[in-house]
Amino acid sequence: MQFRITMKDPDGVYESIHEEAEAKIEELPKDFPISRSSVVEAEADSMLRFARQFLADGEYVCLEFDTEAGTCVVIPKG
């Protein structure tokens, strides 16, 4: 059986992406020549641009579950 659900979390997407961007800068050397906050913002912007193809209005995500295949897929906005 296949079924879809749509979830809404206006702050979750933004906060989660920023947390991930901040975690990525931990990999940078301490003497990195660019401001760490600038790197976080640039990385977060890049991730948000990619994620938007799957998010309607920046906060809704649709998931399709398939119980027979045992899968869950994000449905691109449309």
Structural domain boundaries in the chain: 2-75
Measured in whole angstroms, how far is the alpha carbon of residue 75 from the centre of its chain?
A: 14
**How many other C-beta atoms can be found within 10 angstroms of the C-beta atom of residue 13?**
20
Per-residue pLDDT of the chain (78 residues; tens, 9 = 90+): 999 999 998 788 889 999 999 998 888 787 888 888 888 999 999 999 999 899 888 789 999 999 999 999 999 987
